[in-house]
Amino acid sequence: MTTPPVCDYEGSDYQTSFWEQGGRAYEDRAEAIALKRLLPKSGKLLLEIGAGAGRNTPRYQGYERIVLLDYSRTQLRQAQERLGTSDRYIYVAADAYRLPFVDGLFDGATMIRTLHHMADAPAVLRQVRRVLQPDSTFILEFANKMNLKAILRYALRRQDWNPFTLEPVEFVDLNFDFHPKAVRGWLKETGFELERQLTVSHFRIALLKKLFPPSFLAWLDSLVQHTGNWWQLTPSVFTLNRAAGQDFLPPESGAFFQCPECGHAPLDEQEDTLTCPRCGREYAIRDGIYDFREPIPS
Ligand SMILES: C[S@@+](CC[C@H](N)C(=O)[O-])C[C@H]1O[C@@H](n2cnc3c(N)ncnc32)[C@H](O)[C@@H]1O
């Protein structure tokens, strides 16, 4: 199976350089507010796709267990350092285009600042829908190409791409901004019903961030996030979606993982490997991380 290339964060210090030392306290707080508004009060098993170093994971309070999935092993290690090892957190290194879980396993999923890296967004959304039970919640954040700054730059001829057209813009290799209408279309065609939209980071402007404290800007942001149901002109949009239809019921076998190569479940679990009894591929369990990026070479 060929899937699009992955934006590789292996060895990246993204959490420190972008969030902790990058002057993004306002955006972080504004996102926390949006998440709080959209997350259900309680749930059993949440899939966090592109969890990175686990910046958002402590915010998923109501869920009993959380699967942190990321392609980057080093990001997951940083998440482990932040959250520790317990039954509450399951760390999985895998490609979001080939989720190693059985159909209908989860009753919730989130994908924050990750669709951003997907050259084939509908393919990933189809995978997410497959692993969700009917009626589950899916919170998807995406980077909006039709944001006010891009519109102004386009009007002033400082930018050659058109923020109003539906196709994604790849502004840096494997970094995409999307048109809200295109994302809504993909959500619908992959089996989701859109329930709510919140616009986030209205005040992502260097001068405002210099003049006002993050808490004040986040509070202002919280007052206008609800307008996201009517128009979306911010760089970031949070959507709340429901898994529609009755497809993808949870398995009666109680299986959890499936082979990302051949789709078989259940896998045989030994102390430090998972083996697919159908195709014979083996996957490593290393330092508390289930590693499905590629099979162990035979
Ligand atoms: C910008 S970071 C966001 C991390 C986290 N969600 C946050 O908001 O702090 C994007 C994450 O997506 C992961 N990622 C990118 N492509 C992926 C793929 N195809 N499958 C799984 N994870 C992927 C990267 O490794 C990275 O950790």
Q: Residues spanned by CATH 3.40.50.150 within the chain?
A: 14-250
Nearest atom, ligand 1, residue 55 CA:
9
Q: CB of 232 within 8 A of CB of 197?
A: yes
Which pLDDT score is estimated for 51? 98
**Does any ligand 1 atom lie closer than 6 A to the CB of residue 56?**
yes
CA of 76 from ligand 1 middle (Å) equals 10
Which pLDDT score is estimated for 64? 98
pLDDT, tens digit, 9 for 90 and up, residues 118-171 = 999 999 999 999 999 999 999 999 999 999 999 999 999 999 999 999 999 999
Which pLDDT score is estimated for 252? 85
The residues of the chain scoring below 70 in pLDDT are none
CA of 70 from ligand 1 middle (Å) equals 6
**Does any ligand 1 atom lie closer than 6 A to the CB of residue 76?**
no
Buried b (16+ CB within 10 A) or exposed e, 3-30: eeebbebeebebbeebbeeeebbbbebb
Which pLDDT score is estimated for 72? 98
Contacts of 109 (CB under 8 A, 6+ apart): 46, 47, 48, 49, 128, 131, 132, 136, 137, 138, 139
CA of 162 from ligand 1 middle (Å) equals 26
**Does any ligand 1 atom lie closer than 6 A to the CB of residue 292?**
no
Which pLDDT score is estimated for 192? 98
Which pLDDT score is estimated for 1? 73
**Does any ligand 1 atom lie closer than 6 A to the CB of residue 60?**
no
Neighbours of 2 (CB within 10 A): 4
**Does any ligand 1 atom lie closer than 6 A to the CB of residue 34?**
no
Which pLDDT score is estimated for 220? 98
Handedness of CA 281, 86, 7, 125 (dihedral sign): positive
**Does any ligand 1 atom lie closer than 6 A to the CB of residue 163?**
no
CATH architecture of 14-250: 3-Layer(aba) Sandwich (3.40)
Nearest atom, ligand 1, residue 19 CA:
9
